[in-house]
Amino acid sequence: MKEAKIIYVIISIICVISIIIGVYEQFFNKKDDNTNISTNGKVEEPIEQIKEKTMEEIKDEFNAIFINGFSSEGKDISDIERINKEKKTNVLFSVNAILGVDIAPLCEDRYERTKLGGEKLAEAAMSIDNDEQLAPEITVLNQPYYAPIDNGVLALMAIIHVCNSKKYACDKGDLGMALKTEMDFFKLGKLNILTLPGEAASEFVYGGYSSAETSATGKGPEINPPCLVDIVGDKDLLVMGVSNDMTGYMVPPNDFILHETQPYLSTAKDRFDRRHYHETNSLGYLTPFVVADVLKDMVERLK
């Protein structure tokens, strides 16, 4: 018990120091307050220029990016189209942090860009023409599990009860700590639905991991767990994130990068100078492996 308290105190001190450093870097060491940095690390137009654009110009630019641009992970959207073709999946191009297009840099007006995003999602939804009637058969499997925490900042928040989550001893990870969360698997006729307690990168769900040449770490996809559609054996698997819980982002291990001196506090840049934000709001490197293992067990029991 004494050793555990000492570890908690050490983690708390480290986190406080890191927060102080992070605040200094954020507010006292800025280079240019008028520069908008995109999610792939490139410097975009100053915010004043974005404000001056008409909504028609913004829509035209958004449509161009939607068709030919980059996802928030810096991946060419053609990669997602390729995944659709190879896996014969239906990946909906959504406007959010993990899958699809980030339109925030295109429009400073939050109301207008929310409308724009909603219109694009509605167009995608209304274009679906392969719907079919399902048999009235329902199977539900709820699976609680323990998720290791390597994120020292989140660990501190759990210790001081900022997060509404209990902590448990764990033999995985660097901190020896885990939180209890859950996944659900539904079968509605022949439709399979999986709920995840966080936001999973699209390649973790549908495949298409970065190669060694393009990954953030320089490592190949062989170090990653199988993608979720392959584990289930269903290319039409429907995955719903942030369902029943929110444990953060699920980043593929070969694209997982942390800040060298302020891990889980400050964003890092990889070898291609791409900004990595999602890792700071994740439980850690092990998350995809744990989720994959839990899902494998669930699938086996549903057979």
What's the one-letter identity of residue 27? F
Query: What residues make up the domain containing 267?
Result: 136-302
- Kindly state whether residue 29 falls inside one of the protein's structural domains: no
Are residues 202 and 281 both part of a single domain? yes
Count of Cβ atoms closer than 10 Å to residue 231 Cβ: 19
Task: Say if 201 falls within a structural domain.
Answer: yes
Domain count, the chain: 2
Does 158 lie in the same domain as 119? no
- Looking at 126, 148, 167, the residue that finishes a domain is 126
pLDDT tens track, the chain, 303 positions: 555 556 555 666 665 565 555 544 544 444 444 333 333 333 334 434 434 445 455 555 544 444 433 333 444 445 555 655 665 544 444 434 444 445 555 667 778 777 877 777 777 778 777 788 889 899 999 999 999 999 988 888 777 777 777 788 888 888 889 999 999 999 999 999 999 999 999 899 999 999 999 999 999 999 999 999 999 999 889 999 998 899 999 999 999 999 999 899 888 999 999 989 899 999 999 999 999 999 999 999 988
Say whether both 154 and 280 belong to one domain: yes
d(CA 103, CA 115): 11
> Looking at the whole model, is its pTM more than 0.85?
no
The neighbouring-strand residues paired with 188 are 138, 191
Neighbours of 249 (CB within 10 A): 22
CA distance 110 to 165: 32
Give one word for 148, left, alpha or beta, with left for phi > 0 and alpha for psi -120 to 50: beta
The residue among 99, 126, 153 that closes a domain is 126
146 backbone dihedrals φ, ψ, rounded to 5°: -100, 125
Which string of DSSP letters, residue by residue, matches 101-115? ---GGG-S-HHHHHH
Residues 174 and 223 grouped into a single domain:
yes
Shared domain for 144 and 281, answered yes or no, is: yes
8 within a domain of the structure (yes/no)? no
Which pLDDT score is estimated for 126?
81
Single residue among 91, 126, 161 that ends a domain in this structure? 126
Residues 141 and 259 in one domain: yes
Q: Is residue 104 part of a domain?
A: yes
Cβ–Cβ < 8 Å for 164, 202: no
d(CA 93, CA 229): 17
